[in-house]
Structure 1
């Protein structure tokens, strides 16, 4: 097993300056007044790929205006990227309905086939069944006898299964019928790949057994400059030791898989135990109004603030640097970057346990994890920390130490090394 964080004794092969890479993803592209637009985090990743490869071809799904999802995205004009002259964009159709997939399959596979022939290294993100062009690219690369990497952000079949109750009856029936097929399909493609890149320990544990060459990866967009500095860290510790109210933060969408009701219930339990706290949830989503109602119902309006979407990335990181705990209630096996960002900012992660969260703090600490779906237990752990300020101060220092492992430049260079060597 290869591990991105454990390179002792391994010779790393530097990326070749003359190499090209093809990335086929399900990331959304859209057409703006100045041409194609892409979300800011994906753009940051493309800049890193361009540092390691001569030419980058990025394939994403183009959304028509009427299909744009109800979420806050910081869109960037791709012509403004510093590497725009070395990044080519491929527009793939939105085809998650089986009829649209069947109608566009042959033309899109032929397009992908040519891009595969033109590229030195291949990496395909997998995640669904119909409309999953990364999987189609994997089939085509295999047919051409090419080596390729597969990338998984999360355990998609498990995420779908756990969120089924939130969907209508017809959608639930469709997913229950197709999930077994999707699982076998993904396992087959993993087995045909020469490199399996799995984001976080949850994803790695779910898929590594089907790969001949699995790697646990982390997808981050924090820089070395984003780390909390020593002076600010010690100021936070001093404030904590003074007995000041706990500052609690969460950054993410107010959606069922993030557990916003559990989050409020946990804070209500801590406040009920006499913990002085000031909490903020940064992010919008479909459950914001339900959260407002629950906060009023539990009498927490003076303790919890819903800040909505915050577009300024530095303001988000500052909120974490200023906070004592990053409390989370994630309910599905995913690998959210917000936990890594919290550690980078010296903000301990306190929430529901998962292999991903456990892995992040296994070496140097900085986290307290409680049983899944037990908001009461989480609230009690917050109360314990509030009464053990010296332990909490050490937890803050440990969080900053754990966060120092993660920076975008290092991790993308490592990913490029692996693609050059194996895919």
Structure 2
């Protein structure tokens, strides 16, 4: 059998509709970018059950038949096995399948992310057994995210997470120590994992196109609006989940409102904390200040709303690397929120952001008030964000990653 050029084992799932496979829309764009840099690509990923896929209406599914250069792409669905029983029952057959596909691919890249059901980690074990060099990619410090997300969970879930997290940490560290190349999306990941791998690189896993960048005329209009003392327009785009701390987001806006800021805020996204967030907004009499738009499926409309905003306000409380901060910079919108290595790295050389300590929503509200009073400073941040964002697009970041893979994986 002819050798394929690159194998990707990913946590992003396939979905089956009849005999056709679907893939998450942005991940589908990623496959096209990989195909722009490699002659052929094999993708192995878990197949999500329909019952679970239907529980997340915010996932945009793309027919894999629409992926450009599909004839150079091979798709391998793997079992959905995130329970210990299912994982161990499937392990022998999946390990054998991964062994076969590893043996016929030149470059190996695995995106690890969990403990049970993490076929990318299993692929790394098999590659090491075969004496093959491989790259590891991840966009969050997974064991820490697990602990943070379950901090206020029910007792049984809390106990389970605290049993799994140290195992996951040791497992991932073992896999990373044996990898030839580490690709860490965001500085939080890089700080946590780069000491374990000699060839470690900070990367950005983004899907914005060069054409998505805010234009000079739009930047000038935004600055003109700010200097005219119009209401401060605040946005956020993402899931309403614990790791995004949406209640802190509301509290920060309430603090700014109470300090006299004329503002309008919008959260674009859905999630399990929607009811709690709605109740908090009502309790704080913020209904005329905050709009919960829900999930926006049209990406162009989403980016337009971000471009129209003066501030991307975020309250992330876990060591993750959310793409929305990069998208905000691409849209010329300053990122204002909780401090993290990832956020600080994005602006350290180019500007376009201000940060406060995690959980300090009071200080975050005061920052909004300060920027509302100092419109020149806010205008400067908008200019910095627009300039900063000009360096981010999918063509550049995937080409850089591809060059690293070809350099370090013999």
TM-score normalised per structure 1? 0.94
Q: Deviations over 1:378-417 (max 9, x none)?
A: 0000000000001110110000111111110000001111
Partner Cα separation in structure 1 for residue 261 and residue 46 of structure 2: 47
Match for residue 251 of structure 2? 265
Partner Cα separation in structure 2 for residue 165 and residue 215 of structure 1: 31
What are the within-5 Å matches in structure 2 for residues 44-83 of structure 1?
44-68=29-53, 70-71=55-56, 72-83=58-69
Which of 300, 304, 321 matches 2:286?
300
Match for residue 359 of structure 2? 373
Task: Tell me the CA shift for residue 83 of structure 1.
Answer: 2.0
Cα distance change, pair 187–69 in 1 and its aligned pair in 2 (3 A): farther
Match for residue 129 of structure 2? 143
Over the aligned positions, Cα root-mean-square deviation in angstroms equals: 1.1
What are the within-5 Å matches in structure 2 for residues 230-245 of structure 1?
230-245=216-231
Mapped pair 1:396 → 2:375: no
Mapped pair 1:283 → 2:283: no
Contact 2:4 2:104 in 1 (8 A): no
Tell me the secondary structure at the aligned position of residue 151 of structure 2.
Answer: helix
Partner Cα separation in structure 2 for residue 40 and residue 295 of structure 1: 32
Mapped pair 1:89 → 2:75: yes
Task: Tell me the CA shift for residue 19 of structure 1.
Answer: 6.4
Task: Tell me the CA shift for residue 128 of structure 1.
Answer: 1.4
Partner Cα separation in structure 2 for residue 140 and residue 300 of structure 1: 54
Contact 1:28 1:60 in 2 (8 A): yes
Q: Deviations over 1:222-252 (max 9, x none)?
A: 1111111001100110110000000100000
Q: Deviations over 1:351-381 (max 9, x none)?
A: 0000000000001100010111011000000
Aligned residues: 406
Partner Cα separation in structure 1 for residue 300 and residue 147 of structure 2: 35
Task: Tell me the CA shift for residue 166 of structure 1.
Answer: 4.1
| Stretches of structure 2 lacking an aligned partner (at least 5 in a row) | none
Mapped pair 1:40 → 2:18: no
Match for residue 12 of structure 2? 27
Contact 2:21 2:63 in 1 (8 A): yes
Match for residue 10 of structure 1? none
Q: Deviations over 1:193-227 (max 9, x none)?
A: 10011110000001111112111110011111111
Mapped pair 1:100 → 2:86: yes
